Amino acid sequence: MTLAIAGLMSVFATPLPAQAAESVATVESFNSVGSSWTRALGTSTAQSDGDATEGASALALTYDISAGSAEIGRTQTPPVFKVGAYRALKLDIKGDGSYNTFYLRLQDATGEVLYYRVGNLNNTNWSTAVVDLQKGLAASSGGDANKRIDGAVSLYRLVVVRNGSEAAKGRILVDNLRTVGDGWTGATASPRYFAAGAQSTTLSVPVGTPGDFRLVVSDVFGHQRTFDSKATSTGTASLGWDGKTADGVAFEGTVSGVLSYDTTPNGSLVAPTTVGLPYLAGVATRTAAKASSSLVGVNSSLSTYEGLASAEADARLMEGAFTRYAREEFEWNRVEPRNGYFEWFKFDRAVAVAKARNVDVVGKLVYTADWASSAPAGTAAADVRYYPPKDINDWNDYVRQTVNRYKDSVKVWEVWNEPNIDKYWKPAPSAAGYATLLKSANSIIKAASPDSTVLVGGLANGLPEAYMNSMISNGAGNSFDGVAVHMYVNGAPEPSIIDSWMTGAKSYMARKLPGKSLWITEVGWTTCGSCTTKVSEEEQAQYLSRFMIEAANQGIKSVLWFNLRELGTSTSSIDNYGLVQKDGRLKPAYVALARFGAATVETAPAGAASPSPDGKTTVLNDMAQPSQFKPSSVGSGGSTTVSTSSGRVGGTAALAVNYNYSNSKATGGLLSTGVSVAGQPGALSIWAYGDNSNNPVFLKFVDAKGETFEAKIGNLGTKDWERLVFYFDGNNPNYTHSGGNNDAKVDFPIIIKQIHVYKSTSSGVTSGQFLLDDLSAHYDGIMRGAVFVGRGYVTQALYSLTARDVNLSVPSSTAYIYDRGTVTGLPVTNKLARVTSTPTPKFVISTPQVSPVAGPTRSPVSLSFLSGDRSRLSLQIYTQSGALVRTLAADKAYLAGPANVTWDGKRSDGTWSAAGAYVFRIVSKSSIDGKVSTVSRQFTIR
């Protein structure tokens, strides 16, 4: 039955101060108690009771507090009150005659639980309690711990506490929880995320009643700004803000607000209502557009911290390293700890903190909640989550709820983690089982956010082709946009299996998954104290930079280092992969990541650097004569033949190699030759046009004392030209030496004896054709690296595994070492910069040179520039006002080293260009995000 309450004042709280007309709304009717409430602490039960003040029923709370307080809470996620600035709550209560005390626990948007005393339970009639939210807080815990309601709030628990020797058992009724406000609803920022100085935002305050108000915005680093205003009418008050304090200091990261208002617009804020506004805005040091081109990513732990300050500290580190992506676990166990009960607070904070710094989140949808696992009884607690869910509908609900909540902020979702090994998919990896989860997740993600990228969960040890084939055969081939792989090796990256993993993954995707992207979502080296895989901190830094350079050369979408901050303080392997120690000390690897990020952001990868620092290559044999390379097969039952191909890098022709190694006893082929090499080169190279087979290619030579040297120089990758290099530093994969004096030292001169191609053990490609061209030597010190184009100059990221001084080709008379905004000039003579190359990469910047800068009409103008191997560049002439005059090269592939192009002064229609100011523009398209980067040089003709 429903009872009316007319004019009844609460006996639980004193009346609130007089205000303007109240805005009262019911937020909990308690009409459907059923199984939606449950015991949370102590002895208590919740039932429906027809004795109600509103609706069909009230909640009956039966308690026994003889052993401690009694609490009931929601079985599923508590509904959130409509967002507003509330002065108070009203709740109808029918007590049991005791003087035991009744409390409400509310939970705000940060996860803070706020404890409000309602009053004693001595009134056995229905009465209305008024809870003053501005002054009635008894205690709080969790969340941001500021003892203030921040953002949206929900009813978390109902609590009964024993008062002295009062009766320990009782039964009370509660009904009709209402919010009391004045129509004010906080504030918003548009745009929510912006860069201080370069951009601004508008803070909008919805005014519910005329009155004075104050909006105070602040970040965790001590910056604060106060806006005082008076609203004489309802509507929206707008405040422009540049992201800075009143004295011009830029805010950092997430910005929270506190809005205080009264209902008398007299210029003096009296007895205000106050509400917190978490994650109101975000202020970055650079715009989103400038941050979006970076290859850099990290595995982060923003959602694991208890406080905002810790998450902000990590986000600040990410921004400082020019990080594009942060890989965060939206772990099912933490998102939905029990069926239907979702806890979003830490994930809301993680997303807001990352977005505030223009760091995009890669959301990991990982593992199974313990309550949903198919793990058999008796499974170790730590392993339960690694079994697939017993009911796909539970998985679907978790994915749907998570993606729908963050679809506007998280645009990359990685489904599971390392499902191809039994550590993370138990009891044993199942491509079919994983395909089921992936297909379902992809359908849900694309329905909610069609522009999101779905990744196959980071596969361990490169790309396992058999697992992928099985996954595709189980119908998952169209259920992802990219593949994420993990690459961990012992020791330096150059002699490791990493090159095979990269080219193997690219070759597989070219064969089976054209158009899909390749991500490396985990890579790292540990600086553990005593484990066998440890490296020094200096080596960790070097390996990181060198790996990033190779990933850029290979067109990897993003590389996410594992991990940003170390997980613990022990000397174990897992606790020492981080770039930053637990106590905040920056390891050299963090500096290395920041240096790489700063040097390559807003650029496009433009190919591998020439092995010759001066850019000169000596062609030993252009491979246009098949008779100079005698083919044979290794094993039995195979065939290897050679012929001439018109497709080539240089010279008159290339060598076409046709092979068939489908016989199980055939293991590969040999091309025997006898090419003499003069002088003392530091490397040999050969160009290869692959066939997606990933067949390993080896090169063998013999030195002057009869010692034989052999090493893998690469793999037959995708159908494009790639330079394969034998470096004489002993750090190619599978490097061996034998015979002669066997001293591991190359005694010159040398003779190249064999090119050996092995049959891939994983790709399944056993026959086909590949091309080889321009067997070459490289002199004057050897370097490895990559070239990047953008921000007005060309960047060469270069290193050598043995320190040496080299003459580096640059396109003009000036060149600089670039280190996070600091430039150091290099001596340059005849467009050769003198630089010391070391195992730690250096970033050399230089600008193309136009000649003449000012010259007569109808005369040629040349541009000297520098490119990487097979970089695809467009060279164009524009007027100073931006009109295209002529395209001299459109998406043309250049070889690494210095290059020159000349404009004859004519327009595209063949007419002479008029006198005036013009721009020579180099355009490079990024393989990372498809964006165009340019380098421009101005000149005039008169």
DSSP output for 219-248: -TTS-EEEEEEEESSSEEEEEEE-SB-TTS
Give yes or no for residue 215 having a pLDDT over 50.
yes
Q: 168, 146, 156: which is closest to 106 by C-alpha?
A: 156
Question: What pLDDT does residue 1 have?
Answer: 37
Q: How far from 722 is each of 82, 129, 493, 890, CA to CA, in Å?
A: 60, 77, 19, 20
Residue 351 three-state SS: helix
Residue 717's CB: how many other CB atoms inside 10 A?
27
pLDDT mean over 116-139: 95
Phi, psi (deg, nearest 5) at residue 217: -110, 145
Q: How wide is the angle at C-alpha 663 spanned by C-alphas 657 and 665, nearest 5°?
A: 105
Tell which phi-psi region holds residue 607, choosing left (phi > 0), alpha (psi between -120 and 50) or beta.
Answer: left
Q: Find out whether 634 and 856 touch, Cβ atoms under 8 Å.
A: no
Q: State whether the Cα torsion 552-556-562-564 is positive or negative.
A: positive
- Determine the Cα–Cα distance for residues 746 and 727; give it in Å rounded to an integer: 12
Q: Find out whether 352 and 254 touch, Cβ atoms under 8 Å.
A: yes
Give yes or no for residue 252 having a pLDDT over 70.
yes
* Residues facing 316 on adjacent strands: none
Residue 164's CB: how many other CB atoms inside 10 A?
6
- pLDDT tens per residue across span 607-628: 999 999 999 999 999 999 999 9
Give yes or no for residue 577 having a pLDDT over 70.
yes
Q: How many CA atoms within 13 Å lie on the side-chain side of 397?
A: 14
Q: How are beta strands 86-94 and 126-132 bridged, if at all?
A: antiparallel
Question: What pLDDT does residue 22 have?
Answer: 74
Q: How far from 461 is each of 465, 502, 505, 772, CA to CA, in Å?
A: 11, 11, 11, 29
Residues in the chain: 942
- Determine the Cα–Cα distance for residues 159 and 70; give it in Å rounded to an integer: 6
Q: 98, 651, 552: which is closest to 297 by C-alpha?
A: 552
Give yes or no for residue 254 having a pLDDT over 50.
yes
- pLDDT tens per residue across span 584-603: 999 999 999 999 999 999 99
Give yes or no for residue 456 having a pLDDT over 70.
yes
- Determine the Cα–Cα distance for residues 275 and 267; give it in Å rounded to an integer: 20
Q: 463, 609, 483: which is closest to 550 by C-alpha?
A: 609
Give yes or no for residue 161 having a pLDDT over 90.
yes
DSSP 398-467: HHHHHHHHHTTT--EEEESS-TTSTTTSSSS--HHHHHHHHHHHHHHHHHH-TT-EEEEEEESSS--HHH
Q: 386, 341, 377: which is closest to 154 by C-alpha?
A: 341
Average pLDDT in the chain:
94
Phi, psi (deg, nearest 5) at residue 385: -70, -20
- Determine the Cα–Cα distance for residues 358 and 929; give it in Å rounded to an integer: 16
- Determine the Cα–Cα distance for residues 759 and 766; give it in Å rounded to an integer: 7
Assign 530 a pLDDT band (cuts: 50, 70, 90): confident
Phi, psi (deg, nearest 5) at residue 360: -85, 145
- pLDDT tens per residue across span 405-430: 999 999 999 999 999 999 999 999 99
Q: 281, 284, 280, 365: which is closest to 323 by C-alpha?
A: 284
Q: Find out whether 623 and 654 touch, Cβ atoms under 8 Å.
A: yes
Residue 611, judged by CB atoms within 10 A of its CB (0-12, 13-18, 19+), counts as: buried
Give yes or no for residue 847 having a pLDDT over 70.
yes
DSSP class of 827: -
Q: Find out whether 903 and 861 touch, Cβ atoms under 8 Å.
A: yes
Q: Find out whether 803 and 838 touch, Cβ atoms under 8 Å.
A: yes
Task: Give the predicted TM-score (pTM) of the model.
Answer: 0.94
Question: What pLDDT does residue 21 have?
Answer: 59
Phi, psi (deg, nearest 5) at residue 383: -100, -10
Q: How many CA atoms within 13 Å lie on the side-chain side of 890?
A: 2
Q: Find out whether 725 and 683 touch, Cβ atoms under 8 Å.
A: yes
Question: What pLDDT does residue 14 have?
Answer: 41
Question: What pLDDT does residue 930 have?
Answer: 73
Q: Find out whether 252 and 316 touch, Cβ atoms under 8 Å.
A: yes
Phi, psi (deg, nearest 5) at residue 491: 80, -170
Tokens of residue 509, six digits: 């995707």
- pLDDT tens per residue across span 924-936: 887 666 778 899 9
- Determine the Cα–Cα distance for residues 173 and 94; give it in Å rounded to an integer: 5
- Determine the Cα–Cα distance for residues 934 and 792; give it in Å rounded to an integer: 7
Q: To which residue do tokens 């054209």 refer?
A: 514
pLDDT mean over 886-910: 95
Give yes or no for residue 72 having a pLDDT over 50.
yes
- Determine the Cα–Cα distance for residues 94 and 107; give it in Å rounded to an integer: 24
Give the CA radius of gyration of the chain: 34
Give yes or no for residue 15 having a pLDDT over 60.
no
Of all residues in the chain, the percent with pLDDT exceeding 90 is: 92
Assign 3 a pLDDT band (cuts: 50, 70, 90): very low
Phi, psi (deg, nearest 5) at residue 280: -60, -40
Tokens of residue 253, six digits: 């990261």
DSSP class of 610: P
Give yes or no for residue 7 having a pLDDT over 60.
no
The residue with greater pLDDT, 882 or 136, is 882
Residue 468's CB: how many other CB atoms inside 10 A?
22
The one-letter code for the residue type at 4 is: A
- Determine the Cα–Cα distance for residues 679 and 658; give it in Å rounded to an integer: 33
Question: What pLDDT does residue 12 have?
Answer: 40
DSSP class of 261: E
Assign 780 a pLDDT band (cuts: 50, 70, 90): confident
Q: Find out whether 554 and 542 touch, Cβ atoms under 8 Å.
A: no
Phi, psi (deg, nearest 5) at residue 8: -95, 120
Q: How wide is the angle at C-alpha 303 spanned by C-alphas 302 and 309, nearest 5°?
A: 55
Q: How much helix, strand and coil, in percent to the nearest 5, is found in the chain?
A: 15, 40, 45
Question: What pLDDT does residue 18 have?
Answer: 46
Give yes or no for residue 5 having a pLDDT over 80.
no
Tokens of residue 667, six digits: 């293991």
* Residues facing 158 on adjacent strands: 72, 104
Instruction: State the first-to-last Cα distance of the chain, in angstroms, to the nearest integer.
Output: 96
Question: What pLDDT does residue 291 have?
Answer: 74
- Determine the Cα–Cα distance for residues 278 and 291; give it in Å rounded to an integer: 24
- pLDDT tens per residue across span 290-301: 777 789 999 999
Question: What pLDDT does residue 17 have?
Answer: 47
Give yes or no for residue 6 having a pLDDT over 50.
no
- Determine the Cα–Cα distance for residues 478 and 471; give it in Å rounded to an integer: 11
